[in-house]
């Protein structure tokens, strides 16, 4: 499919302040200064893909804008991406548009859901994506600008402007940028993309509908205890996941992953343990949330009563994790939107 119209161009003063003033007035930015997407910069970006500039990668709700390769490139330039990052964003745009990701719901909801990009495979090294120290924080160009570009694509092409079609009550900082690699070298298990059916040497991006991040600090050296305290951290009655049967994510610190591995636990074992340990009596939910759970999960539970033990996800397989970060005893719980499933795409 090719675009119905090419991206519009306009002339502006060769002055960064004036251009940023214009972008601010037209609400084309995320609130931070942008890199002007001049035809030359966009052309340099487009040289890093085999795709034609007017190829439509996706139609992005809630505004149903055509996400062409060119428009993705324009937003990538604005976010400060290196030209080599473009294929990641093309794959990520395709991923967010898949029905199971429910981007219409994620963008138009009052929930703070942000799109978290998780990169796997050789591309992590090639682009210098941070998968170690502070990988969810500041300081790495690829992480910062890739996540930012994803947001600009959703806002400028998808039309999800805050207060208009993006109805988030407060939103969250991750809506500016949220991107990391998996620390595959320090993971004792197969990496995420292999688990999701891709060859190890393939590069992928996985899009995850993240509600936020919760630091889970524990100095425990016992695998079973580690899982117990993490599970107790994940249980919270204001979670969308219990209402819908969600897809929670965890970022295990390499140190925690080593303890779990030393405890003889496979990925499957960990998922099953967490699924059991995070079960919560429905009575912990508010009455309204029990009704929401009833509407969403009657097929699983029939009539939900206060003593019905609700699982955080429909099956253990719906609990996902990666290993990322540097040394330290901090893992991260990433609660998710609930009504959505992550999508992985190969980066080509």
Partner 1 sequence: MTKRGKAALTICSTAFKTLGHAQASALGKKDLPIALMPHPFGLRKREEVRAIAEKCVDDIAQLMTKAGSK
Q: What is the binding site for partner 1 (CB under 8 A)?
A: 61-65, 108, 110, 159, 163-165, 167, 288
Residue 283: C-alpha distances to residues 232, 279, 287, 288, 299 (Å): 16, 12, 8, 11, 19
Residue nearer to partner 1 on the CB measure, 22 or 108 = 108
Residue nearer to partner 1 on the CB measure, 62 or 147 = 62
Residue nearer to partner 1 on the CB measure, 163 or 197 = 163
Cα 212 to Cα 285: distance, rounded to the nearest angstrom: 20
Cα 205 to Cα 87: distance, rounded to the nearest angstrom: 10
Minimal distance, residue 159 CB to partner 1, in Å = 6
Residue nearer to partner 1 on the CB measure, 162 or 326 = 162
Minimal distance, residue 162 CB to partner 1, in Å = 11
Q: Within a 10 A sphere around the Cβ of 1, how many other Cβ atoms?
A: 11
Residue nearer to partner 1 on the CB measure, 185 or 291 = 291
Residue nearer to partner 1 on the CB measure, 33 or 63 = 63
Minimal distance, residue 61 CB to partner 1, in Å = 8
Residue nearer to partner 1 on the CB measure, 15 or 164 = 164
Minimal distance, residue 161 CB to partner 1, in Å = 9
The strand pair at 309-310 and 280-281 is best described as: antiparallel
Spatial contact of 77 and 146, defined as CB atoms under 8 Å apart: no
Minimal distance, residue 312 CB to partner 1, in Å = 22
Minimal distance, residue 62 CB to partner 1, in Å = 5
Minimal distance, residue 99 CB to partner 1, in Å = 17
| Terminal C-alpha separation, the chain | 18
Spatial contact of 51 and 16, defined as CB atoms under 8 Å apart: no
Residue nearer to partner 1 on the CB measure, 31 or 163 = 163
**Is the four-CA dihedral 290, 107, 93, 180 of positive or negative sign?**
negative
Residue 305: C-alpha distances to residues 49, 255, 282, 308, 310 (Å): 54, 40, 7, 5, 10
Minimal distance, residue 59 CB to partner 1, in Å = 10
Own/partner contacts of 266-273, CB < 8 Å, gap of 24 or more, are 266/189, 267/189, 267/190, 267/195, 267/321, 268/316, 270/227, 270/321, 271/316, 271/317, 271/319, 272/316, 273/224, 273/227, 273/231
């Amino acid at each position: 499919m090719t675009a119905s119209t090419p991206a519009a161009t306009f002339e502006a003063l060769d002055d960064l302040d004036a251009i940023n003033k214009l972008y601010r007035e037209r609400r084309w930015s995320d609130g931070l200064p942008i890199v002007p997407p001049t035809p030359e910069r966009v052309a340099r970006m487009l040289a890093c893909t085999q795709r034609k500039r007017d190829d439509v990668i996706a139609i992005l709700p809630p505004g149903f804008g055509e996400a062409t390769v060119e428009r993705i490139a324009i937003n990538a330039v604005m976010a400060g991406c290196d030209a080599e990052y473009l294929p990641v964003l093309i794959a990520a745009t395709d991923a967010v548009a898949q029905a199971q990701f429910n981007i219409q719901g994620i963008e138009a909801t009052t929930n703070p859901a942000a799109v978290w990009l998780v990169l796997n495979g050789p591309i992590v090294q090639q682009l210098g994506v941070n998968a170690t120290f502070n990988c969810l924080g500041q300081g790495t160009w690829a992480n910062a600008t890739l996540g930012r570009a994803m947001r600009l694509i959703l806002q400028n092409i998808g039309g999800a402007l805050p207060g208009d079609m993006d109805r988030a009550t407060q939103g969250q900082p991750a809506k500016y940028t949220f991107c990391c690699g998996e620390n595959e070298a320090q993971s004792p298990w197969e990496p995420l993309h292999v688990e999701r059916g891709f060859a190890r040497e393939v590069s992928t991006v996985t899009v995850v509908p993240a509600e936020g991040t919760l630091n889970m600090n524990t100095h425990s050296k016992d695998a079973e205890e580690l899982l117990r305290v993490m599970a107790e951290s994940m249980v919270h009655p204001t979670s969308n996941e219990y209402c819908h049967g969600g897809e929670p994510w965890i970022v295990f610190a390499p140190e925690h992953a080593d303890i779990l591995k030393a405890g003889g636990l496979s990925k499957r074992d960990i998922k099953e343990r967490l699924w059991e340990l995070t079960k919560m009596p429905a009575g912990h939910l508010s009455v309204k949330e029990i009704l929401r759970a009833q509407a969403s999960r009657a097929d699983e539970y029939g009539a939900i009563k206060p003593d019905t033990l609700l699982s955080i996800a429909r099956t253990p397989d719906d609990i996902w994790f990666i290993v990322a970060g540097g040394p330290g005893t901090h893992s991260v719980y990433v609660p998710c939107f609930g009504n959505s499933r992550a999508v992985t795409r190969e980066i080509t």
